[in-house]
């Protein structure tokens, strides 16, 4: 037990204290707080602790935490903060990363735009199934372990996800469904994937199993549908690999319906079991709206949407552009994007699958682009992609990022390639967590 004073928070949301020259990271600690903490782990570089008793609390601390599992689950690093303080924290996180680079010293980082929902916003959950069929556990891995932490009433999940999880547990018990054990590599059910389409509130459930086992999955599906009538689509994915990748290559539909229809703003999307879709539909609409604002399209422009996924940003720009070309590495995503363009009658959108840098070069030879949108995964863009983008010489670039660190790195590279970042707009896609999305606007220098 130690008495500690929290001086700041790190990028993972831990309160930072110094005790006799040792840096101690306190889960849930806020700057300015004094507290009694219990050491939980001593590492070579860092020591971790949990709060036992507060002695002096921060005005930014929320009086009633939304979740009782804060000490066990580290999925929500900011849940102890009042929401306005979370938004301010995320702005400072982004500004800190951006202003590390001399080329970005003068970039304006705006106040974080809050999510329309602070809780219950996650429309998708990918959960591990563990334990035994008479006592199943459905949840997430604890950080750096293979221990599964049960999540039955997650405050971030859409309420229908929590209903499905409870029904699945009851159905596993009743049907005596064998649960996969990664140590023995025996058993059937590995993961439960649940997706809610808004605003219809229809639900898709995907069982990830080691083999087909038609009868067991059919009965489990029927049980869940009876318990949660909103479940419209049930599918099965076969994954007999030994790694931690969730989905395998073989799919089977259990219900006649195979897709859900979801909306972001006025745009309709067909969602299949493998479709990538923003987990916070309300915040996604804010991000897409900010991209459309920064694009300043007049109807004459050619737009390239790199890492386009199922075409969300492309569709939001289509009605104001002459042509939109989406690029994505995953064939299935391009098929989804093409179908979504047809669904929304966006005839000036087309999508191509392949290596981003190669396709950008090809499209550039066809006639260049006036605007390029980049929306890469967390690792950011390969430098060769950024060089290909700069070679086309668009007037503007919009960069949408889920990692302030890789965003700052790539904006610095683009500066050296002739593009100046004007402003960065953080948007809170993931309230209660340390994650933040950003939309950056760049112009050719």
Task: Please say which residue of 210, 239, 271 terminates a domain.
Answer: 271
Confirm whether 398 is domain-assigned. Answer: yes
Q: For the chain, what is the domain count?
A: 3
Phi, psi of 94 (to 5 degrees): -65, -45
- pLDDT, residue 149, reads 85
Which residue ranges are tagged as binding site for S-adenosyl-L-methionine?
Answer: 278, 307, 328, 375
Same domain, 195 and 307: no
Residue 396: partners with Cβ closer than 8 Å, 6 or more residues away: 294, 295, 296, 370, 371, 372, 441, 442, 443, 444
H helices within 176-311, ranges in order? 214-227, 281-295
Same domain, 92 and 165: no
Task: Please say which residue of 271, 304, 328 terminates a domain.
Answer: 271
Residue 346: partners with Cβ closer than 8 Å, 6 or more residues away: 314, 315, 318, 319, 324
Confirm whether 277 is domain-assigned. Answer: no
Residue span of the structural domain in which 128 resides: 124-271
SS (H, E, C) 407-435: HHHHHHHHHHCCEEEEEEEEECCCCCCCC
Domain of 298, CATH number, reads: 3.40.50.150
Same domain, 266 and 291: no
Domain of 219, CATH number, reads: 2.40.50.1070
Q: Measured on CA atoms in the order 34, 38, 41, 45, is the torsion positive or negative?
A: positive
- pLDDT, residue 301, reads 96
Task: Please say which residue of 248, 271, 294 terminates a domain.
Answer: 271
For residues 302 and 281, what is the distance between their CA atoms, to the nearest angstrom? Answer: 27
Angle 383-392/356-367 helices, nearest 10 degrees? 10
Confirm whether 71 is domain-assigned. Answer: no
Same domain, 134 and 232: yes
Domain of 12, CATH number, reads: 2.40.50.140
Angle 383-392/404-416 helices, nearest 10 degrees? 50
Tokens of 277: 């879709």
For residues 327 and 315, what is the distance between their CA atoms, to the nearest angstrom? Answer: 13
Same domain, 213 and 243: yes
Tokens of 200: 């219809």
Would strands 47-56 and 34-42 be described as parallel, antiparallel, or unpaired? antiparallel
Mean pLDDT in each 10-residue stretch from start to end of the chain (445 residues)? 94 92 91 94 87 93 78 78 96 97 97 97 95 92 78 91 97 95 91 94 96 93 97 95 87 93 92 88 96 97 95 95 94 92 95 94 89 96 96 96 97 98 98 96 95
Phi, psi of 338 (to 5 degrees): -65, -45
Catalytic residue at 76?
no
- Overall pTM > 0.75: yes
Same domain, 48 and 105: no
The answer to whether 405 touches 378, Cβ cutoff 8 Å, is no
Same domain, 135 and 110: no
Confirm whether 96 is domain-assigned. Answer: yes
Same domain, 290 and 350: yes
- pLDDT, residue 77, reads 86
Confirm whether 80 is domain-assigned. Answer: no
Tokens of 283: 């915040």
Q: Of 73, 308, 349, 402, which is the active-site residue?
A: 402
Same domain, 266 and 288: no
For residues 37 and 40, what is the distance between their CA atoms, to the nearest angstrom? Answer: 9
- The separation between the first and the last C-alpha atoms of the chain, rounded to the nearest angstrom, is 56
The answer to whether 204 touches 197, Cβ cutoff 8 Å, is yes
Tokens of 350: 């087309």
Local structure of residue 61 (DSSP, 8 states): B
Confirm whether 79 is domain-assigned. Answer: no
Same domain, 139 and 250: yes
Sheet containing strand 371-374, strands side by side: 108-109, 419-427, 437-444, 396-401, 371-374, 302-306, 323-328, 349-353
- pLDDT, residue 72, reads 66
Same domain, 102 and 133: no
Quick check: bond before 192 cis, omega within 30?
A: no
Confirm whether 76 is domain-assigned. Answer: no
The answer to whether 137 touches 150, Cβ cutoff 8 Å, is yes
Same domain, 223 and 309: no
- Half-sphere CA count of 170, side-chain side, radius 13 A: 14
The DSSP secondary structure of 156-210, one letter per residue, reads: SB-HHHHHHHHHHHHHHHHHTPPBPBTTTTB-SEEEEEEEEETTTTEEEEEEEES
Confirm whether 66 is domain-assigned. Answer: no
- pLDDT, residue 144, reads 63
* Residue among 298, 303, 301, 300 at smallest CA distance from 313: 303
Tokens of 382: 């390969």
Give the number of other CB atoms < 10 A from CB of residue 291. Answer: 23
């Amino acid at each position: 037990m130690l008495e500690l004073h929290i001086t700041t928070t790190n990028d993972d949301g831990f309160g930072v204290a110094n005790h006799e020259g040792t840096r101690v990271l306190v889960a849930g600690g806020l700057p300015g707080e004094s507290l009694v903490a219990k050491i939980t782990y001593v590492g070579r570089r860092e020591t971790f602790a949990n709060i036992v008793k507060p002695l002096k609390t921060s005005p930014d601390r929320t009086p009633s935490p939304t979740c009782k599992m804060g000490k066990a689950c580290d999925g929500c690093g900011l849940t102890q903060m009042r929401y306005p303080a979370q938004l301010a924290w995320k702005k400072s996180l982004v500004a800190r990363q951006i202003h590390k680079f001399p080329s970005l010293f003068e970039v304006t980082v705006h106040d974080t735009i809050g999510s329309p929902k602070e809780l219950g916003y996650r429309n998708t959950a990918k959960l591990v199934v563990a334990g035994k069929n008479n006592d199943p556990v459905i949840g997430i891995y604890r950080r750096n372990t293979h221990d599964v932490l049960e999540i039955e009433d997650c405050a971030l999940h859409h309420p229908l996800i929590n209903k499905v999880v409870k029904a699945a547990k009851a159905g596993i018990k009743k049907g005596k469904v064998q649960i996969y054990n990664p140590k023995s590599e025996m058993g059937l059910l590995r993961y439960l994937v649940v997706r809610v389409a808004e605003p219809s509130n229809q639900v898709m459930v995907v069982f990830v199993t080691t083999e087909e086992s038609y009868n067991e999955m059919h009965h489990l599906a029927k049980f869940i549908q009876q318990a949660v009538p909103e479940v419209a689509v049930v599918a099965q994915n076969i994954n007999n690999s030994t790694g931690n990748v969730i989905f395998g290559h073989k799919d089977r539909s259990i219900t006649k319906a195979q897709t859900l229809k979801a909306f972001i703003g006025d745009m309709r999307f067909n969602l299949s079991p493998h479709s990538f879709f923003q987990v916070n539909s309300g915040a996604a609409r804010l991000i897409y709206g900010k991209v459309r604002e920064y694009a300043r399209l007049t109807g004459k422009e050619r737009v390239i949407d790199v890492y386009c996924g199922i075409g969300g940003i492309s569709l939001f720009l289509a009605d104001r552009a002459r042509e939109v070309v989406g690029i994505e590495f995953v064939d299935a995503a391009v098929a989804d994007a093409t179908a979504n363009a047809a669904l929304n009658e966006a005839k000036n959108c087309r999508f191509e699958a392949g290596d981003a840098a190669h396709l950008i070069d090809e499209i550039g030879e066809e006639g260049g682009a006036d605007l390029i949108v980049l929306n890469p995964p967390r690792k950011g863009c390969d430098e060769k992609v950024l060089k290909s983008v700069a070679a086309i010489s668009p007037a503007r670039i919009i960069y949408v990022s889920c990692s302030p660190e890789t965003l700052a790195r790539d904006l610095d590279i683009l500066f050296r390639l002739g593009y100046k970042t004007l402003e960065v707009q953080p948007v809170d896609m993931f309230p209660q967590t340390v994650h933040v999305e950003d939309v950056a606007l760049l112009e050719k220098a």
